[in-house]
Structure 1
Amino acid sequence: MRPQRSLADAEDPSVVLAWRIDRYLEHCADKTAHAHRTHPNRPLAALTDTQLHHLRERATARRTRALDEVAAVQAAVASQPAPVSVDGLPHPAWPHRPYGAATLGALAAELARHLTESALAHTPAQARAAAAAHAALRQEIALRQSMPWRLRAREDWQRERSPLAAHTAYQDTATTRAELRGNRLREEAAQGALARAGIIWARIDAELRLRTHLPDRPPHQVDNTGPLPHWLADTTVLAEPQLEASWRSQLAERHRMLATVLTHRGLALAAAPPAWTRPLGPVPDPGHRLRPVWEHTAALTEAWRERRNVPVGVEGLGERPRHRP
């Protein structure tokens, strides 16, 4: 942002101040238009600032609870049996493997039993079943032997009963599987609750941030029918609550001075009407009810002509302006 010129160095501080006010109002108007373009739907626009701040506190608390729930679920999921990857191939978590829940002693006992059953099989079906079970046991043993020691130690901690073992070592496989499903569903629900809480909080925060750029009251109504019209002396800034009292009183005094100058100019023009006043008609006689109207209209016309640099030979207001002054 470019540094502003100091009022102390200006030839006419009022001109510099008026320029700053105009730029500020234009900037506010641009921000308002941009906000209406980018935020066409504002579901929270009808709420007061107090209500919005209360809602944001509740939304913040809800989001905090959702974050705590997500952290708790993720901790539970992190400590539960998980799929493993060995030699680049994925394998299910041990509760979902045929012999994954078997301890080392149970694996040895099962292997010996199926070897015996395979040797004593009387039918081809019994032999095939014993061979399939034997192959599954060998596959589980080979998988455990191929695992990195950290993964194998983690599974043993979750499966082998010991004083420091995980709680899954003291429950049956069906309960562990149900717990895995429940934790996954709980994690999805917690993530969804966190996303919803974040959306609500973001909507409320966006509405609060938007209100810092929007006016907190209806737009100032332009009045061009009074003794000092808006186009000659902008009165919008007088309605700004942020305007200091000293500046407000000074601007009001300048407006009164301008109104006095208009009155004097109207009297002078009525005493010696120039040629450009011909469209205004003849000057009413003194004391006539239209005399003050003619004087005021002539003074405003003169101010308009000076502001628009209307040539002397052109009557009245001159040509219609092509853009807003």
Structure 2
Amino acid sequence: MHSAQGATVDTAHALLTKSTDRAGAYVATSRGKYDNRIYVGLAGGDRADTVLNGIAERTDLNLTAHETVTREFEQARDINSLGMIYRDLVDQAQSAKYEQILRTTLSTPIAQPILEDPAWGAVSRHLERAEEAGVKLETLIEDAYSQHDFTEADSIAAILAWRMDTLLENREATLTTAERPLREVNQDHLLALKERALDRSEAAGSSSRKSAVELAEAEKISPLTRRLYGHLGDEELAARIKHTDNELIRQIPSDVDNNEAYLSWSLGKLRHEQQLRQDMPEPLAQAEIRGREHRTLAGTSGTVLRRISTELKLRELEQTPFEQPREPNRLGEWFTPRTQLADPRLPAAWKEQIEAYRPVVDAEHQRLGAELAQNPPAWLEDLGPVPGRADRAEEWRRLAAEIATYRRTYNIPNSEPTLLPTQHLKDNPVAQHLRNRAAELHKHSELTTRKPMPDDAKEQLTQQKADEAGTAVHQSDAAAKIAALRQRAQTRNETTPQEKENAMSTSENHAGQERSGAAETNELLARLRKTQEAQQQAADQQRKLKDDEAQRRGPSGPTLR
């Protein structure tokens, strides 16, 4: 490209790749007098717009001092650069922790040659994998080292890594598939249960059996320990008698496998045992029952003891989780991991350095969120407007900054209009989590940032309420007056003929009163109808105002793609 500088051709064809700088691209794309055609070379996973954006940002190295200072300042303040530095500090702290654990577990004289071995990197990766799987590192190292000696080993670290790989695979499977009904039991309580189970298992034997034997000898009866079926419980003995009797009935004399003699002998012994129990004194019968129950009690104690021992062994293989901070990681655990800082085995010097650097990343994160709130790009439309509440507005800025950081980390161009591309939502759980948070926040923002009601609508609603108050007639009062008028009319209709004849003389006097009562009734009915009509109009007007407001708000939630 540089050789073409100064040359002019009719048509220029320029091939640009991600290694082309901006100055070279300018030379290549400005040589054509009539036409300049650009071809973009893409490697695996590259996009044309990403490559072109990179070329535009890749400036000439011959910068002025002012341009150099400005570029270095922008790079030092870049949120992604700060995040990479933070994660690098965490990685180095983790490596220092693994070295410290190795020295503590095997002693420094044994650990030092392993740390200096080139294969230490493989050991460190196995320790990282074990930590992610929840496997206890100290037990893993100790078991792998103590399997065999290393007298003829050329690389102790390589052999240790190979042994750890096998042990780790087995322990991952064990911790994943093991049934652990006692997993939630406290360690101290579990140890106390183990002692109690041991005591019950030891005590569940000889005392009750000894008393049964002594009573049997006193009654000159063969003790249950010497009888063929003395160990069977009463229900088990009855079931055995029934089964043997049925088998005896099924025997065929001509069958070569006929077992009639043995079954007859067994049935006789079983029935003799049953009859003996029915005839023996009650104290002896109860003592024998207690003696037989010791087997069930011992078996139960043994089962509990085995489960407790299994849980304790699993806990030796499993790393106990460390207590994490209660407040959420507002920078995103994927971007600035904080879980490792809760590990007390992390060297204190590294922990202090990480905690001191975190506010630097946090300050830039807040600045980016405020900038996005002032000048939101097109892809932030799916996040909705900034909420009115202060705490929700802070959450909006934090989430916007985290999404922007994700887009920069994965080189998502600003030309991508959606909040997060569909492919990322399918493949990356971080993107899915960000999308879900954005949907929830957008819904809240929509509900808390509605447009105010127009002034003319407010005036119309106020006037409507005033009209309702002026024309309203309490329905109970109107109904009472109408009932009284109807009662008076009914009383007049129930008069006798003589009363009607006497009333004719005075009809003219009452005519005026009747017209007055009818007029009063009609007036009350008219006012009642007017009140009902006004209430219906108010309801219709309120419904119309709600429909108009819903049209102004638009959809109730975002559509994230």
- Name the TM-score class by shorter chain: 0.3 to 0.5
Larger Rg computed on CA atoms = 2
Question: Which structure shows the higher helix fraction?
Answer: 2
Of structures 1 and 2, the one scoring higher in RCO (CA 8 A, sep 6+) is 1
So what's the TM-score if we normalise by structure 2?
A: 0.27
